[in-house]
Amino acid sequence: MPASCKRACDVSEAAEVGPSTIPAICCLRCAAELPAAERPAICPTCGLQYDPARPETYATHRSSSRWKFWLPGFLLSVTVGTLAYAGCLQTGEMGYALFFAVPVSFGAILGYATRVQTWALVFLAILTITTVIFTLIAMNLAGIFCGFTLGIIFLVPTFAGLLCGVLLRAILIATRWDHAWYFRWYVWLIAVMPLGAQQIESAFPHRHEIAVVQTGLTVDATPEEAWNAIMFYEDVQHAPPWLLHLALPKPIRSEGNKQQEGSLVRCFYNCGTISKRISQVQRPRKLSFEVVEVVMRSENYANLKDGSFEIEPVGTRQSRITLTTRYQRKLTPAWIWEPIERKVIHTLHGHVLEGMRRKAEGQEPEEKPKEDEPYERQDGQRPAPRVAVRMPMEAAP
Amino acid sequence: MTAMSKWTAFLLSACVPGAGQLAARSWTCLPWFAAAACLVAVFAHFGKLADGAAWPLAAQFGAGATLCLLSAEHAKRLLEQGQGRNSRVVSTTVSCAGGHGRSVDIAIVLTVKRSPENLWQQIRDLPRFLTIDPFHDKVIVMRDSPDVGVDLTLSHNAFGCRFLRFGRILAWREGFGYAFSDLSARGPRTGFPHVFDVQIEPLPEPLPSPQHSPPMSRLTIRVRGRWTSWLVPVWLGRLWIRLVCLEHARLLQKGL
């Protein structure tokens, strides 16, 4: 009579079948399941020998390549990061969505889609940032200097996204959702998140800021000599610092009369041209110009507005030259990008001032400067207020 | 605590000179760290002198890469097992037989101060002897004892990347040598299929001398195979195999 429980179910079969004590063994070469044997045998699929008495001759589980645990997630993260950056860049806005939402997105995908140890996850995050940056540079979506800066900016949001991805995965596993089924949907949502953030950011009114950068240098020359030494970036003969090599287009030459008010000066670079109109000539005190046209093949991170050279006498044989550049800022947030922009422009001013100093003092163009940074930054010393214009929201069609 | 793999130390020092030595708990990490710091200081000073020129970057990259590779090789050698100074190997030669087409034929010949019987006892221990190869991590003989027709599983570890290859003992001449194949898991036509041929020959005894000279043997390890990669040209493949055999010869000097 078969054993039965209170509900008269036949439980004898369940009683006879105990827990499985013989784990399945697989071939080391083809991973096929090997039949149970008591003596040395060969794999029925590929013919590789094995010995059931020696565990090292077979595998106890189907060996899946370790690459599957991280490579697809890594490639997906790089792809999403690159495409999201390119997509956000198409709107022309370079703000929080581009510099924060994108790295959070591909960091979250990396954390969600990979199953590796913590140290490997950190290494993969850094590798992903590096690969995305290199891809952007290769696709001409970012310059070398901008790419390097992006790499640093991306660090914190990427790791924040990484943490979110890992937590999401842990929550789904803990709640026993079939995350394999929902995998695609979550990944899609995370991937399009930067584009959604970009649309939201574009809907807000923009604050167009005009930034002013001033740099001064005292030269051993009369104002007249300093006036005759006025030159643009394209006219400086000595080699520029490495920062300008990386951050700015390479200047070639300039054409036009810089001493005539109203004349148009065209400046040629390796990737385009900038046309400037001389707006004011007060010999030997002040020369001002305004930028009328910028035609560049590379990414334009600031809208140049105008600039000026101001010369003040200092004593009998010295003059103080002050360069001023006004530009409209395009990159946000300002607390990250403005210091970098000022550093680049101050370096540019310093390079031009050094060229003027050498010419005014009669030095050879190839001589080394007296100091590393002989010029003085004058931001904040001369109150040239920043002009902020609040743009009204566009009316709905 | 598992012993550190030599390739882990190699990769650590390749990234940061001295890191592999530190992981191997060797005091030699200090001079490597100092060398790296000096190089960085030289780079910084050199960069200022170059005044924004681009060509020093290549020199800096070359110097940095050289330092990293030297440190990595040193870290790897710290974790290699072997006798070193008490080696019984008298001389070593690595010769290429001048393969045709895609064939590769390289031989390592060692003169060893051991009798053929003594040497045979060493080389017949396949799991130990075959792991002297720089890329052989573990060798499993799929039967209780090696013989003709017995399969081998050869676990490779190349620069930290582990993968399995499979072979079979093709010949077994007790006391004289053996031959076995080393094939890719994807089949015998891909992944540089090659055959190892290991032979021992007794060397004639030298002229009688007042001092008793130990018996000498010649150990020949011949690698014959076919370079199947289309990405890497054959001449570069032969050069690579030759370098590997030179490294193998160096490790045999320590291991025998």
* ipTM at complex level: 0.79
| Alpha carbon distance A109, A121 (integer Å) | 12
pLDDT value at position A239? 87
**Residue A369 pLDDT exceeds 80:** no
pLDDT value at position B256? 80
Give the distance, in angstroms, between the CA of residue B248 and the centroid of all CA atoms in the same chain: 4
Mean pLDDT confidence for A192-201: 89
**Considering chain A, what is the average pLDDT of its residues?**
81
Residues of chain A with pLDDT > 70: what percent? Answer: 80
| Alpha carbon distance A128, A141 (integer Å) | 17
Residues of chain A with pLDDT > 90: what percent? Answer: 28
- Min Cα distance B155 → chain A (Å) is 11
Give the distance, in angstroms, between the CA of residue B247 and the centroid of all CA atoms in the same chain: 4
CA angle A121, A122, A125 (to 5 degrees): 85
Contact A245 B52 (CB under 8 A): yes
Mean pLDDT confidence for B98-110: 86
User: Quick check: A301 and A331 in contact, CB under 8 A?
Assistant: yes
Label residue B47 by pLDDT band (50, 70, 90). Answer: low
**Residue A386 pLDDT exceeds 60:** no
User: Quick check: A164 and A108 in contact, CB under 8 A?
Assistant: yes
Q: What are the tens digits of pLDDT across the range B161-208?
A: 888 999 999 999 999 999 999 999 888 888 899 999 999 998 876 655
pLDDT value at position B222? 94
**Residue B224 pLDDT exceeds 90:** yes
Q: What would the two tokens of residue A166 be?
A: 């890992």
Residues of chain B with pLDDT > 70: what percent? Answer: 86
Length of chain A: 397
**Residue A6 pLDDT exceeds 60:** no
- Min Cα distance B99 → chain A (Å) is 30
Q: Which residues are within 8 A (CB) of A383 and not within 5 positions of it... i.e. 6 or more apart? A: none
**Residue A17 pLDDT exceeds 50:** no
Mean pLDDT confidence for A119-135: 90
| Alpha carbon distance B75, B68 (integer Å) | 10
DSSP secondary structure string for all residues of chain B? -PPPPHHHHHHHHHHSTTHHHHHTT-TTHHHHHHHHHHHHHHHHHHHHHHTT-SHHHHHHHHHHHHHHHHHHHHHHHHT--S-GGG--EEEEEEEE----TTEEEEEEEEEESS-HHHHHHHHT-HHHHGGGSTTEEEEEESSSS--TT-EEEEEEEETTEEEEEEEEEEEEETTTEEEEEEEETTBTTSS--EEEEEEEEEPPPPPP-SSPPPP-EEEEEEEEEE---SSS-HHHHHHHHHHHHHHHHHHHHHH-
Answering whether pTM is above 0.90, one says: no
Q: Which residue has the higher pLDDT, A297 or B158?
A: B158
Q: Which residue has the higher pLDDT, B225 or A173?
A: B225
B54 touches chain A (CB under 8 A): yes
Q: Which residues of B touch A50 (CB under 8 A)?
A: 142
**Rg of chain B, C-alpha, whole Å:** 22
In the 3-class helix/strand/coil scheme, how is chain A assigned residue by residue?
CCCECCCCCECHHHHHCCCCCCCCEECCCCCCEECCCCCCEECCCCCCEECCCCHHHCECCCCCCHHHHCHHHHHHHHHHHHHHHHHHHCCCCECHHHHHHHHHHHHHHHHHHCCCCHHHHHHHHHHHHHHHHHHHHHCCCCCHHHHHHHHHHHHHHHHHHHHHHHHHHHHHHHCCCCHHHHHHHHHHHHHHHHHHHHHHHHHCCCEEEEEEEEEEEEECCCHHHHHHCCCCHHHCCCCCCHHHHHHCCCEEEEECCCCCCCCEEEEEECCEEEEEEEEEEECCCEEEEEEEEEEECCCCCEEEEEEEEEEEEECCCEEEEEEEEEEEECECCHHHHHHHHHHHHHHHHHHHHHHHHHHHHCCCCCCCCCCCCCCEECCCCCCCCCEEEECCCCCCC
Contact A50 B142 (CB under 8 A): yes
Label residue B55 by pLDDT band (50, 70, 90). Answer: low
| Alpha carbon distance A360, A217 (integer Å) | 12
Contact A40 B51 (CB under 8 A): no
B143 touches chain A (CB under 8 A): yes
User: Quick check: A22 and A10 in contact, CB under 8 A?
Assistant: no
How many Cβ atoms from other residues are within 10 Å of residue A107's Cβ? 29
Residues of chain B with pLDDT > 90: what percent? Answer: 48
**Considering chain B, what is the average pLDDT of its residues?**
86
How many Cβ atoms from other residues are within 10 Å of residue A222's Cβ? 17
In DSSP terms, A25 is beta-bridged to: A34
Contact B143 A50 (CB under 8 A): no
Q: Which residue has the higher pLDDT, B40 or B208?
A: B40
- Among A108-112, A113-117, A194-198, B218-222, the minimum mean pLDDT is found in A113-117
**Residue B34 pLDDT exceeds 50:** yes
Contact B52 A242 (CB under 8 A): yes
A112 touches chain B (CB under 8 A): no
- Among A256-270, A370-384, B41-55, B239-253, the minimum mean pLDDT is found in A370-384
- Among A270-284, B38-52, B211-225, the minimum mean pLDDT is found in B38-52
**Residue B16 pLDDT exceeds 80:** yes
B16 touches chain A (CB under 8 A): no
- Min Cα distance A241 → chain B (Å) is 5
Q: What would the two tokens of residue B227 be?
A: 């370079």
Q: What would the two tokens of residue A283 be?
A: 């010999």
B164 touches chain A (CB under 8 A): yes
Peptide bond between residue A333 and the one before it cis (omega within 30 degrees of 0):
yes
Residue located via tokens 């015998």: B188
**Residue A397 pLDDT exceeds 60:** no
Q: Which residue has the higher pLDDT, A227 or A11?
A: A227
Give the distance, in angstroms, between the CA of residue A117 and the centroid of all CA atoms in the same chain: 26
pLDDT value at position A19? 45
Label residue A387 by pLDDT band (50, 70, 90). Answer: very low
Contact B143 A40 (CB under 8 A): yes
Label residue A326 by pLDDT band (50, 70, 90). Answer: very high
Q: What are the tens digits of pLDDT across the range A75-121?
A: 889 999 999 999 888 887 788 889 999 999 999 999 998 888 888 88
